[in-house]
């Protein structure tokens, strides 16, 4: 019987080589259906619910926030910057653009009248008061 020394790093190297080979052969012009979806943190304190969304490269007039039946929806479109991007020859394009919509179900005891939103340095901060009268049919939240 022959003993073979276990080398976990060699196994990782083999796996890495197989991944590189696979993605190296992958056609660059295939649309993977990847779309922009902002990362959002949701948290609360004693008086408010908070949502903070990362929206780098966007302007506040490109973002819409609505509250309907205790569902908060953040939507908009992240557009490519620069001049005539379709004619440029990209060597690497990692940023993701496009329309997005994220919805969050809130508890029934929110106060729709004590909502606020601030957009600064690519971070959208939304606050919604607790212990309110309940659901609201529909309300758009203005971003300051």
pTM (two decimals): 0.68
The DSSP string of 16-80 is: HHHHHHHHHHS-TT----------EEEEE-SSEEEEEEE-TT--GGGEEEEEETTEEEEEEEEPP
Q: How far apart are CA 109 and CA 34, in angstroms?
A: 36
pLDDT of 15 reads 74
pLDDT digits (tens, 9 = 90+) for 77-109: 988 776 555 677 777 777 888 899 999 998 888
Q: How far apart are CA 57 and CA 81, in angstroms?
A: 8
CATH numeric code, 35-80+96-144: 2.60.40.790
pLDDT of 19 reads 74
Domain ranges of the chain: 35-80+96-144
Residue with more model confidence, 140 or 121: 121
Phi, psi of 77 (to 5 degrees): -145, 125
In this prediction, residue 123 has a pLDDT band, given cuts at 50, 70 and 90, of very high
The alpha-carbon radius of gyration of the chain (Å, integer) is 23
Q: How far apart are CA 83 and CA 55, in angstroms?
A: 21
């Amino acid at each position: 019987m022959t003993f073979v020394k276990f080398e976990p790093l060699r196994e990782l190297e083999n796996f890495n080589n197989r991944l590189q080979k696979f993605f190296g052969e992958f056609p660059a012009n295939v649309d993977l259906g990847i779309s922009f979806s902002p990362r959002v943190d949701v948290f609360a304190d004693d008086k408010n619910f908070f949502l903070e969304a990362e929206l780098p490269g966007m302007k506040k007039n490109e973002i819409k926030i609505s509250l309907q039946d205790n569902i908060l929806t953040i939507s908009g479109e992240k557009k490519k910057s620069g001049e005539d991007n379709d004619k440029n020859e990209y060597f690497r394009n990692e940023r993701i653009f496009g329309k997005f919509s994220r919805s969050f179900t809130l508890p029934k005891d929110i106060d729709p009248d004590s909502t606020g939103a601030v957009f600064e340095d690519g971070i959208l901060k939304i606050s919604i008061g607790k212990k309110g009268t309940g659901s609201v049919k529909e309300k758009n939240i203005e971003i300051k």
